[in-house]
Amino acid sequence: MVLGCPSCGKKNRVGAVHLARQVNCGACKTALTPVSRPIEADVETFDDVVAHATLPVLVDFWADWCGPCKMAAPFVARVAAEMAGRAVVLQVDTEQHPELAERYQVQGIPNFLVIRNGRVILQQAGVVGPEEMMRWLSAA
């Protein structure tokens, strides 16, 4: 996957297997990981993270037109910040990547998955608080 450096903006290729340890920007040496914000995932990024991440993965299926998704967005961001180094948070726009929503039979959004070692541990539709999401990830 490609992560933009928050300091210099350079794009850095980082393998999903390395998300659990610190990786630095190739240009300015700023720490890129652990990632403390949700990662916007396309199909390639999603498949890479699900297949190779050594951490549990929270996936937020959402769409820009969805009011409840907008309500959940700050909760998802908080989980990413508080669980940095212990979990990875992906966001999948169902309008941009409907094939991923179909793959996991997402029929309502927001819809959350917790995946560990490539296997779905939990799937939950509807808005939930950040504490509940963090419990899911801790249990995974």
SS3 for 32-58 is CCCCCCCEECCHHHHHHHHHHCCCCEE
| Integer-rounded Cα radius of gyration of the chain | 14
> For residue 93, how many other CB atoms are within 10 A of its CB?
19
Residue among 5, 8, 25, 66 flagged as catalytic = 66
Close Cβ partners of 117 (under 8 Å, ≥ 6 residues apart): none
Catalytic residue status for 66: yes
Residue among 5, 8, 25, 69 flagged as catalytic = 69
From CA 12, how far away is CA 93, in angstroms rounded? 22
Catalytic site positions = 66, 69
